[in-house]
Amino acid sequence: MATNSGSSNPIGEAVPATNNVQEATPVSQETKDAIAQSAEAHASADGVVLGADGKPKSAKQLEKDRQKAEKAARFAAKKAAQDAEKAKQAAQPKKEKKAKKEEVKVEPYVELTKPGEKKVLQDLELPALKNYDPQVVESAWYSWWEKSGFFEPEFGPDGKPKPEGTFVVPAPPPNVTGALHIGHALTIAIQDTLVRWNRMLGKTVIFLPGFDHAGLSCQSAVEKRLWVQEKKTRHDYGRKNFIDIVWKWKDDYQSRITGQLKRLGASYDWSREAFTMDENLSAAVVETFVRLHEEGIIYRANRLVNWCTQLNTTLSNLEVDQKEISGRTLLSVPGYDPEDKVEFGAITSFAYEIDGSDEKIIVATTRPETMLGDTAVAVHPDDERYKHLHGKFVKHPFVDRKIPIVCDSIVVDMAFGTGAVKITPAHDPNDYEVGKRHNLEFINILNDDGTLNNSCGEFTGMKRFHARKAVVEKLTERGLFVEVKDNPMSIPVCSKSGDIIEPVLKPQWWVSQQAMADAAAEAVRSGQIKIQPAVSEADFQRWMENVQDWCISRQLWWGHQAPVYYVQIEGEEQDRGDGKWWVSGRTKEAAQEKAEKQFPGKKFELIQDEDVLDTWFSSGLWPFSTLGWPKVTPDYENFYPTSLLETGWDILFFWVARMVMLGIKLTGQVPFKEVFCHSLVRDAQGRKMSKTLGNVVDPIDMIEGISLDDLHAKLLVGNLDPREIEKAKTGQKLSYPTGIPQCGTDALRFAFCAYTTGGRDINLDVVRVEGYRKFCNKIYNATKFALMRLGPDFVPAAKIEKTGKESLVERWILHKYNKAAKDINKHLEARNFFEATNSVYNYWLYELCDVYIENSKYLILEGTEEQKISAQQTLYTCLDGALRMIHPFMPYVTEELWQRIPRRPQDSTPTIVKAAYPVYDEQLHDPEAETNFELVFSVVKGARSLMAEYNVLQGAKIFVQADPSINGVIAEQSPSIVALIKGCESCEVLAPGSEQPEGCAVYAINKDCNALLLVKGHADLDAEIAKAEKKIGKIQQQQAQMQKLLAQKDYENKVPENVRAQNAEKLEIMKAETENLDRIVAQFKKLLL
């Protein structure tokens, strides 16, 4: 039987309760004859019909026989007709297959617009423009927007920001290391949506672009390229020449990235473009360093750092990946023969001999080579096993050194291992703290290149991992080796070189952060800065509470050389690790003056530190250095603090926290009022984007589309080695088995905003992005259709204003338009991008396109002149507003289409970029129209459902049976119902109390309204009766459960009133459904007679 997918109502009648019995459908003469023949075959001589047992049949048996005979006769007739048709078709000569039509080649689109000029809009009937093509739609617009200055801020007559307010976004500067990846596209989609929205709200807007020099990343990429291409290192070129090479790299990739940013539609004010090594930004770095050094906030200290032996530099924690292994694992390490793999994930136990005794104490380590730098063995002061050893020493087996046994309750866990811990203060963070607590010797065993230094005796000059094996062998020879076991562990790996990171003691420049962190935490607590989502705010506060001092020295050539000078005094012994011998200066002359005051009468030479500063140091100044600081410029005065910082949650501490700390410290103000942290983009399988996995996507490839072979080819131009390339190809086949389809910029941007739900990760599925391309196609074709309905001579009204003569569907769509505008503004204000995209998508697709544009056909084509004009004005208002509503998400297709629709009189807005964003308008609020038309549209949906179920494609006859209170609304809208249902011939509203037409299926809209479809001749009635009877049984079970619930003790007191009302309504609907089903069964049984 047919069922209502919304309310599970079956087909059948929905008539008022009545005792009238409808007459059975007339039986054909052929059927009557068949019944008579059957009866005669079983009749006795005196006319009495006998059964198989020879006894006379009852009236009930006779009726049953009659029905069976009628059914058999109908089946025989149907079979005969089918056989006759088959015979007829067989007798006809076979038609020759039509030759396939030759494919008509579509002439390629030719852009007629000169770069920078307004796009020449070509005829939409041209073959290349008949359907949406992102390449065609997106051409020419950006250069015109940029050249026309549409992205530059607008000021009031007084030269100050407009009274509507300001919206300033310092864009996170992409690294000039290489091209943008898909994560940057997410950033731009979110930021530019907010920027365009605020610009359309009339604010003075700055979207400030720029680029980061990315010291380590860029230098390592250039060095790797030089080695692959020329087998040369930076030292072969020298510092000056190498830096010149990096500048050329920077110019090349900055140009490439700029092209990508423009393709993504980012509406940056390019006149304010910045680079972290520009003159003013470099001056800001110098100013910051000198100020903080003079205050003692920047200081020099010999501390543990993350050391990469391959790159010969200190790394930040962000540049160190943690590789988890579950046990003993062999890994390749840069600088070692690929066949000479190194074992990790093992813990080696060995013994130290107690000095002056035959006793031994056993310790364990995952890095046996570090025992060469051991300067203590720690035990717990309460451990009875070792109390007799307090104050004693152990003998180092390989170097002439006695090592003290110290008591430490912090680092030692008595229950773990032997309860004795080897201490290497110069090569382990925990041991470093032990060394400070017990005033131990700090012995560095490593050279910068990873070989062992002169402190290592017979192992001097060995590579660290060769020494690892050698130390274990020597321990074994001396009878000190105990055992080696599996040990799950995390291995620190350089994200740039793949090298294993070593904790190494180095004299470096450090920033004391605690006081600045306290101020930053208070700024967030007090609401001066709002961080979203809430989980990111919690992360921020936790990091500020546990902040540690920041190492800003990097042993690189590319970057800001530290503006600090070593004062080398003639004839004196000095320690370069001691900060007292260093002076900072904005210039060398200023440093000279400082040194003369600090060391009066001394003869000295100033030597600038060769190290450069951590990239995050300059990036931390980004929100104010880009506005002119340390100078007091008009931009700094007008636009600082900025409005919003949008970035990934993964750099909340490394970048955002440092901007907040430095901003408050240097300017006395927070750098921005809001931080929004977006998700990280992963592939459809949830894997992190990685070049070696082959799932990294260039956003341009997703915009333009690319074949799998071309994806493979792109791997060959990077820095991957041959083995990594093959692995990446396999990954590409998994992620993009048929390549990436052309999706276009608008679809990509919209997809990213729709994906942004506040979660930590986005699993990007290209299928979903392609789905939004189809949405763009819907917008494109709907606008083309609307333009046809408006006609070439249409002139919009001067403003949006209801006349009072609008039809119900016009009132409804205006109300929906108004509601969408209100909701989208609210959601964007709350940074709820998922709901914002959902609102605009639903308005466009399910309200404007599926309902109003379809419904307006009969008003414009068949209505009175007054109805036509009104419907056209409403169509224009809702289309124009829809394009403006979705523009921040989809800039290209909206500009292309908006330029094709007419402007209201006196409206000279040149571009949708500057058009006013739709906002809530009280006069369009019409909840009555919404209620009434939703009822009408429910009838439409019900009728569509029935037609689909019964496969009624043409000539559908719809009937509506409703309560007298709503009959009039539906009757008035019957033309709308017909217009909205494809294949519908008529819609008749039945008079109250009248019987439904025979042979109808029913869809219960609610307890007061049913939609009916004439299905006689389309349905298998026996099957429908069986389904109806089965459904009756299910509903009766549901009714019994509900009645049991309602009969429970204290139901009225315990159950909330609204829930009781819902349950009562459900029971009424079940009752109505059962009555419908009973009538269906009765009616269909009659139709069988």
For the stretch 905-919, pLDDT in tens is 999 999 999 999 999
Antiparallel, parallel or unpaired: β 313-315 and 298-308: antiparallel
Alpha-carbon Rg for the chain, nearest whole angstrom, is 40
Other beta carbons less than 10 A from residue 829's beta carbon: 11
Q: Pick from 747, 764, 756: which is nearest to 679 by CA?
A: 756
Q: Pick from 697, 748, 740: which is nearest to 138 by CA?
A: 748
In angstroms, the CA 168 to CA 165 distance is: 10
Q: Pick from 1001, 998, 1032: which is nearest to 1019 by CA?
A: 1001
Beta-bridged to residue 987, according to DSSP, are 958
Q: What is the pLDDT of residue 81?
A: 54
Q: Pick from 834, 786, 916, 764: which is nearest to 197 by CA?
A: 916
In angstroms, the CA 828 to CA 195 distance is: 11
Q: What is the pLDDT of residue 21?
A: 34
Read off the DSSP letter of residue 688: B
In angstroms, the CA 625 to CA 407 distance is: 51
For the stretch 192-223, pLDDT in tens is 999 999 999 999 999 999 999 999 999 999 99
In angstroms, the CA 449 to CA 312 distance is: 7
Rounded to a whole number, what is the largest CA-CA distance in the chain? 151
CA angle 191, 194, 196 (to 5 degrees): 105
Q: What is the pLDDT of residue 613?
A: 97
Task: List helix spans (H) across 264-389.
Answer: 279-294
How far apart, in Å, are the Cα atoms of 4 and each of 266, 520, 1034, 1073?
Answer: 47, 59, 15, 11
Stretch 279-301: mean pLDDT: 97
Please say if the pLDDT value at position 108 is more than 60.
yes
Better pLDDT: 461 or 854: 461
Tokens of 1002: 């029913």
In angstroms, the CA 560 to CA 621 distance is: 13
For the stretch 819-851, pLDDT in tens is 999 999 999 999 999 999 999 999 999 999 999
For the stretch 881-932, pLDDT in tens is 999 999 999 999 999 999 999 999 999 999 999 999 999 999 999 999 999 9
Taking each helix axis from N to C end, the angle separating 766-790 and 854-862, rounded to the nearest 10 degrees, works out to: 10
Please say if the pLDDT value at position 26 is more than 80.
no
Q: Pick from 826, 847, 844: which is nearest to 835 by CA?
A: 826
- Please report, rounded to a whole number, the percentage of residues in the chain having pLDDT higher than 90: 69
For the stretch 426-479, pLDDT in tens is 999 999 999 999 999 999 999 999 999 999 999 999 999 999 999 999 999 999
Taking each helix axis from N to C end, the angle separating 215-230 and 239-263, rounded to the nearest 10 degrees, works out to: 110
pLDDT band at 729 (very low <50, low <70, confident <90, very high): confident
Q: What is the pLDDT of residue 31?
A: 39
Q: Pick from 913, 923, 919, 861: which is nearest to 890 by CA?
A: 913
Q: Pick from 580, 585, 581: which is nearest to 570 by CA?
A: 581
Read off the DSSP letter of residue 707: -
pLDDT band at 12 (very low <50, low <70, confident <90, very high): very low
Please say if the pLDDT value at position 43 is more than 70.
no
For the stretch 316-344, pLDDT in tens is 887 899 999 999 999 999 999 988 899 99
For the stretch 534-577, pLDDT in tens is 999 999 999 999 999 999 999 999 999 999 999 999 999 999 99
How far apart, in Å, are the Cα atoms of 244 and each of 219, 238, 788, 1047, 1068?
Answer: 12, 10, 59, 87, 83
In angstroms, the CA 759 to CA 18 distance is: 58
Is residue 322 left, alpha or beta, with left meaning phi > 0 and alpha meaning psi from -120 to 50? beta
Antiparallel, parallel or unpaired: β 564-569 and 582-584: antiparallel
Tokens of 277: 């090594």
Please say if the pLDDT value at position 88 is more than 70.
no
In this structure, the dihedral spanned by the alpha carbons of residues 13, 18, 19 and 22, taken in order and rounded to 10 degrees, is -40
Beta-bridged to residue 763, according to DSSP, are 682
Taking each helix axis from N to C end, the angle separating 534-545 and 514-525, rounded to the nearest 10 degrees, works out to: 150
Read off the pTM: 0.81
Q: What is the pLDDT of residue 62?
A: 53
Better pLDDT: 283 or 59: 283
In angstroms, the CA 11 to CA 952 distance is: 14
In angstroms, the CA 241 to CA 249 distance is: 13
In this structure, the dihedral spanned by the alpha carbons of residues 63, 68, 71 and 72, taken in order and rounded to 10 degrees, is -140
In angstroms, the CA 424 to CA 446 distance is: 12
In angstroms, the CA 419 to CA 408 distance is: 11
Antiparallel, parallel or unpaired: β 346-354 and 320-325: unpaired
In angstroms, the CA 879 to CA 783 distance is: 7
Element at 1006 (helix H, strand E): strand 1000-1006
Antiparallel, parallel or unpaired: β 530-532 and 489-494: unpaired
Of 350-364, 459-473, 748-762, the range with the lowest mean pLDDT is 748-762
Q: What is the pLDDT of residue 666?
A: 97
In angstroms, the CA 396 to CA 354 distance is: 10
| Cis-peptide into 161, omega within 30 deg | no
Please say if the pLDDT value at position 29 is more than 60.
no
Stretch 1082-1087: mean pLDDT: 75
Distance of CA 360 to the CA centre of its chain: 59
Distance of CA 1003 to the CA centre of its chain: 40
Amino acid at 68: K
Within a 13 Å sphere around the CA of 742, how many CA atoms are in the beta-carbon half? 9
pLDDT band at 271 (very low <50, low <70, confident <90, very high): very high
Tokens of 779: 């917008």
How far apart, in Å, are the Cα atoms of 448 and each of 322, 694, 1062?
Answer: 22, 33, 75
Q: What is the pLDDT of residue 821?
A: 98
Helices then strands, each counted (H, E), the chain: 34, 33
Please say if the pLDDT value at position 34 is more than 50.
no
Please say if the pLDDT value at position 578 is more than 90.
yes
CA angle 460, 461, 465 (to 5 degrees): 95
Q: What is the pLDDT of residue 193?
A: 98
CB 742 within 8 Å of CB 706: no
| Cis-peptide into 641, omega within 30 deg | yes
Q: What is the pLDDT of residue 25?
A: 37
Residues in the chain: 1089
Of 36-50, 318-332, 754-768, 823-837, the range with the lowest mean pLDDT is 36-50
Q: What is the pLDDT of residue 858?
A: 84
For the stretch 1015-1042, pLDDT in tens is 877 667 788 788 888 889 999 999 999 8
Better pLDDT: 240 or 1053: 240
- Please report, rounded to a whole number, the percentage of residues in the chain having pLDDT higher than 70: 89
